[in-house]
Amino acid sequence: MPTPAPKVLVNEVSVTFESHRRSVLALDRISLQAHAGEFLCVVGPSGSGKSTLLRVLAGLLRQSAGEVRIEADHPGSPLTAMVFQEHALLPWRTVRDNVTFGLENRGVGRAEREARAREMLAMVGLTRFAAHYPHQLSGGMKQRVGIARALASDPEVLLMDEPLAALDAQTRTIMQEELLRIWAALGKTVVYVTHSLEEALLLGDRIVLLSARPGRVSRIYPVDLGRPRGLEVRASPAYGALLETIWARLREEVVRAMAEDRGPDPDRASA
Amino acid sequence: MRRFGRWLAEHSIAVGSPLVLLGAWEWASATGLLREAFFPRPSTIAVHLRQLGADGTLWGHLGATLVRIGWAFALAAVLGVGIGLAMGLWRGLREGLDPVFAVIYPIPSILFLPLVGFLVPPGEIAVVVTTAVTSFFLIAFTTTHGVRQIDRLVVEAATHYGARGWRLFTAVLLPGSLPSIFTGLRLGLGFALIVVVAVEIVSTSRGLGALLWLSWQILKVEDMYATFFVIALVGAVLYYGLAALQARLLPWVQDVADR
Amino acid sequence: MPVALLALWEMASRLALVSPRYFPAPTTIGAVLVDRLAAGDLGAALLVTLARLGLAFALAAVPGVLLGLLMGIARPLRAAVEPYIAFVFPVPKIALLPFLLIILGVGEPAFVLTGAASAFFQIVISTLGGVRTMDPRLLEVGHNYGAHGARLFWKVILPAALPAIFTGLRLGLGLALIALVAVEFIAAKSGLGHLVYRHWQMLSTPEMYAAFALVGALGLLLTRGLRALQARLLSWQEESF
């Protein structure tokens, strides 16, 4: 029986940035897929192009080579909705109006917008702040609004760019649980970028490990930790083993990236 | 009533200090410590102020000034915001007009009076246009700045969530520039008052500036002070009035940009 | 673009599309400008205006910054003085001129003080704003690392407020120039503002425009120059406004 087409298909995608006289290769022939309903995590050192990949998927950035395909099964739904790393909320709109921004742009009626906003704000725990303005919220709260906005948009694929990175550890843990619950309930396809390997193992079905710049697919790891998954999985031996294995590989890439940043040792230059 | 009492207590120095000063002035003037010819007593000034109000002179001049400011500000605001937005959105226009504006803007408005007099029929129109000149440049400049300082990431996110073209303009670019536009409007209004008073001194016979100058020329010092007080009142109402309006209309702006 | 406009003006004037008496050609104006500068009278007027400006600015800047700083540090002082500043700030300072003319007579002191008044309030407000809106954490860091009292002031508060002070000085200079030129236009018998007025009355338009252009050039140079100086001296500041 033929396998259904992947929900997200990335085929030999490269991205080169041109600035003044230099061109930087950010992504080098990335190929990966995400199946419908899958939670795909992308990890890698700083500069590996994780965010760049996400922006290509979101259509915010044009790739220099290769193709991207997202299967649209629900007419009327946008292909993607992204949760940005720096919230990117509209400062002149209340929390509620920020959440329904995408819906408003698509012409969704007021009653439905309000219902959806109520639902999403409840999901991220911000019901009390619906009429507040972004500048009145903490960083973590703003991030939660961003998540609510993406969810409210009801996209084919949910893109998340380190959405929990700015939260304190306690809130982050709670939100991770929430995300697992929400995802189990909605069944969305998610592409999730994170720095934290622990988080990727907790949330993901598969982990894509990118190399240091230029970003290539170093390895793709299946995460067989069972579903439904809760925080208790962190105590399981399978989790520990996977963490060690992937970290060994990731560590190499991180060290390589840091060496890049440091540049040639000035004291060694003239030996 | 209790709230007013509390406000009074908190602002006791701020309220008390001018009262004390006025009291001291009254005393110094009466006892001759201050030359009464230069510094008439506040009580006398108040009497003259009431007189000017009663016989209608004050209202006539005040009205003339306010009407001129009204027209000039409307002119400067409409043109300024319009052109400012256009310059903010289209680089070509901005790069073309910027040098021209930069040269004209620092010139003191009053110097435009002769020029404007050559271009438009002399009289009220010339006064209004001259008053509008510097305000126009100010408003255009702050509007352009307002458009350009919008966080690119926010625009990107908005586009990503489906805002394009006209929708992007009304839902993102315009609200995003509003704080800056408003600052420009406030400054522009302030400048309009400054210029109109100066122009009235030079070239008209009606208006607060004209009244001030006239009082000086016939050496009615009390009337001078009274007129100054009215001008100050107008200035304060315009300036702080718009500030209050801004707080009302733009609740998301957390700092007042001029301080 | 400005060149294009000037060329347009030149043509319009020469072809009498606009009245050449009211709008003499830029080249004519330029010639007169050079002429008058060489003859010295335009230069003299420029110097007079500059002298007044310098004096007015000095008179406004020193007390202005001082007052602003003191108000920023000492709350009771701020409470006492703020209402006056707030009340007079929106008033056109040109309205002070008649009073100064009476008290000081028609002459330089009245002119210069009007200009100084224009700059003074802006400088106080900007300086005060600089002190009040500085990052409070900087004060904490200062205390923590042993800076108190006078040292805290010189090493932390003053540098933190410097960008705002500088902006205030820049704006103040511009305001002083505007006020002084207006005063010269209205009441003085010397200076660039007066020249514009006199030539206007005599309808010797090329001279009028020449003086006008000089005022514009002066204003432009001052604002640009100060802004460049600010960028140079305060290079740690990322945002400039």
User: A34 — phi, psi (to 5°)?
Assistant: -130, 135
A91 reaches B (C-beta below 8 A)? yes
What pLDDT, on the 0 to 100 scale, is given for residue B255? 54
Q: Span B31-58, mean pLDDT?
A: 84
Number of domains in chain C: 1
Q: What residue type is C40 in one-letter code?
A: G
Answer yes or no: do C212 and B212 touch at CB < 8 A.
no
- Cα–Cα dist A150/A84, whole Å: 9
What pLDDT, on the 0 to 100 scale, is given for residue C238? 55
- The closest CB to that of A90, out of B158, B167, B251, belongs to B158
Domain presence at residue C166: yes
Q: Which of C94, C85, C176 is nearest to C129 (CA)?
A: C85
Residues of A in contact with B157 (CB under 8 A): 82, 84, 88-90
Owning domain of residue C87 = 42-233
Distance set, CA B124 to CA A105, A198, B89, B116, B205 (Å): 47, 75, 34, 11, 11
- Cα–Cα dist A32/B198, whole Å: 72
What pLDDT, on the 0 to 100 scale, is given for residue B257? 37
Question: What's CA A139's distance to the chain center, in Å?
Answer: 18
Q: Pick the residue with more confidence: A269 or A257?
A: A257
Domain presence at residue C9: no
**C-alpha angle with apex B145: B144 to B147, nearest 5 degrees?**
65
Q: Span A15-39, mean pLDDT?
A: 89
Q: For residues A180 and A229, is the Cβ–Cβ distance under 8 A?
A: yes
Cα end-to-end span (Å), chain A? 65
Give me the numbers of helices (H) and strands (E) for chain B, helices first please.
12, 0
Q: Span B117-123, mean pLDDT?
A: 83
- Cα–Cα dist C128/C157, whole Å: 11
Element (H, E) at A16: strand A8-19
What is the pLDDT of chain B when averaged over all its residues?
86
Domain presence at residue C50: yes
Chains that touch B (3 or more CB pairs under 8 A): A, C
User: Chains B, A in contact: 3+ Cβ pairs under 8 A?
Assistant: yes
Q: Which of C28, C54, C41, C57 is nearest to C118 (CA)?
A: C57
Smallest CA–CA separation between B259 and chain A, in Å? 19
- If you measure CA to CA, which chain C residue comes closest to B222? C99
What pLDDT, on the 0 to 100 scale, is given for residue A266? 63
Q: For residues C126 and B243, is the Cβ–Cβ distance under 8 A?
A: no
Q: For residues B221 and B212, is the Cβ–Cβ distance under 8 A?
A: no
Token pair, residue A102, equals 């995408």
Question: Which of B 95-154 lie inside 8 A of A, CB atoms?
Answer: 151, 153-154
Smallest CA–CA separation between B213 and chain C, in Å? 7
Answer yes or no: do A82 and B178 touch at CB < 8 A.
no
Q: What is the pLDDT of residues B123-147, one digit of tens each?
A: 889 999 999 998 999 999 899 999 9
Model confidence band, residue A241 (pLDDT cutoffs 50, 70, 90): very high
A131 reaches B (C-beta below 8 A)? no
Question: Which of B 143-202 lie inside 8 A of C, CB atoms?
Answer: 145, 190, 193-195, 197-198, 201-202
Answer yes or no: do A88 and B161 touch at CB < 8 A.
no
What pLDDT, on the 0 to 100 scale, is given for residue A81? 94
Q: What is the pLDDT of residues B166-193, one digit of tens each?
A: 999 999 999 999 999 998 999 899 889 9
What pLDDT, on the 0 to 100 scale, is given for residue C89? 86
What pLDDT, on the 0 to 100 scale, is given for residue A206? 94
- Cα–Cα dist C227/C132, whole Å: 23
Residues of A in contact with B159 (CB under 8 A): 60
- Cα–Cα dist C142/C156, whole Å: 7
**C-alpha angle with apex B30: B25 to B33, nearest 5 degrees?**
70
Token pair, residue A119, equals 């639902």
Answer yes or no: do B160 and A58 touch at CB < 8 A.
yes
Instruction: For chain A, give the percent of residues with pLDDT over 70.
Output: 96
Burial (CB count within 10 angstroms: exposed 0-12, middle 13-18, buried 19+), residue B258: middle
Residues of B in contact with A60 (CB under 8 A): 156, 159-160
Mean pLDDT, contiguous 10-residue spans, chain C (241 residues):
81 80 84 85 90 95 92 85 85 89 89 94 91 82 79 82 89 91 90 90 88 88 87 68 40
Confidence check: pLDDT of A37 > 80: yes
Question: Which of A 157-216 lie inside 8 A of B, CB atoms?
Answer: none
Question: Which of C 31-70 lie inside 8 A of B, CB atoms?
Answer: none
What pLDDT, on the 0 to 100 scale, is given for residue A2? 57
Q: A208 in helix, strand or coil?
A: strand
Q: Which of C153, C170, C174 is nearest to C231 (CA)?
A: C170
- Cα–Cα dist A101/B168, whole Å: 11
Model confidence band, residue A175 (pLDDT cutoffs 50, 70, 90): confident
CATH number at residue C186: 1.10.3720.10
- pTM for the model stands at 0.82
B165 reaches A (C-beta below 8 A)? no
What pLDDT, on the 0 to 100 scale, is given for residue C241? 40
**C-alpha angle with apex C137: C132 to C143, nearest 5 degrees?**
100
- The closest CB to that of B198, out of C101, C182, C196, belongs to C182
Q: Which of A152, A148, A73, A143 is nearest to A108 (CA)?
A: A152
Burial A89-98 (b: 16+ CB within 10 A, else e): bbbbbbbbbb
Which residues are within 8 A (CB) of C176 and not within 5 positions of it... i.e. 6 or more apart?
Answer: C53, C56, C57, C60, C115, C116, C118, C119
Which residues are within 8 A (CB) of A69 and not within 5 positions of it... i.e. 6 or more apart?
Answer: A8, A9, A11
Model confidence band, residue B155 (pLDDT cutoffs 50, 70, 90): very high
Model confidence band, residue B71 (pLDDT cutoffs 50, 70, 90): very high
Smallest CA–CA separation between B172 and chain A, in Å? 8
Which residues are within 8 A (CB) of B117 and not within 5 positions of it... i.e. 6 or more apart?
Answer: B126
What pLDDT, on the 0 to 100 scale, is given for residue A68? 92
Confidence check: pLDDT of A231 > 50: yes
- If you measure CA to CA, which chain B residue comes closest to A58? B160
- Biggest CA-to-CA distance, chain C: 74
Mean pLDDT check: name the lowest of A23-27, A133-137, C19-23, C116-120: C19-23
Q: Which CATH number fits domain B44-249: 1.10.3720.10, 3.40.1440.10, 3.40.50.300, 3.40.50.10490?
A: 1.10.3720.10
Residues of A in contact with B161 (CB under 8 A): 78, 81, 101-102, 105, 149, 153
Number of CB atoms found within 10 A of residue C39's CB:
10
Cite the DSSP H helix spans in A204-236: none
Model confidence band, residue B258 (pLDDT cutoffs 50, 70, 90): very low
Token pair, residue C101, equals 């003319």
Confidence check: pLDDT of A44 > 60: yes
Domain presence at residue C106: yes
Q: A171 in helix, strand or coil?
A: helix
Which residues are within 8 A (CB) of A268 and not within 5 positions of it... i.e. 6 or more apart?
Answer: none
Q: For residues C61 and C123, is the Cβ–Cβ distance under 8 A?
A: yes
What pLDDT, on the 0 to 100 scale, is given for residue B259? 31
Q: A222 in helix, strand or coil?
A: strand
Answer yes or no: do B161 and A133 touch at CB < 8 A.
no
Token pair, residue A54, equals 């996400």
What pLDDT, on the 0 to 100 scale, is given for residue C237? 63
Number of CB atoms found within 10 A of residue C64's CB:
26
- If you measure CA to CA, which chain C residue comes closest to B188? C90
- The closest CB to that of B160, out of A82, A93, A133, belongs to A82
Q: What is the pLDDT of residues A61-71, one digit of tens each?
A: 899 999 999 98
Comma-separated ranges of CATH 1.10.3720.10 domains in chain B:
44-249
- Cα–Cα dist B113/C197, whole Å: 10
Distance set, CA C104 to CA A25, A243, C62, C98, C112 (Å): 73, 85, 22, 10, 11
Q: Which of A189, A192, A206 is nearest to A74 (CA)?
A: A189
State yes or no: cis peptide before C98, omega within 30 of 0. no
Domain presence at residue C25: no
Q: What residue type is C180 in one-letter code?
A: L
Q: Which of A171, A180, A195 is nearest to A233 (CA)?
A: A180
Q: Read out DSSP for B210-239?
A: HHHHHHHHTT-HHHHHHHHHHHHHHHHHHH
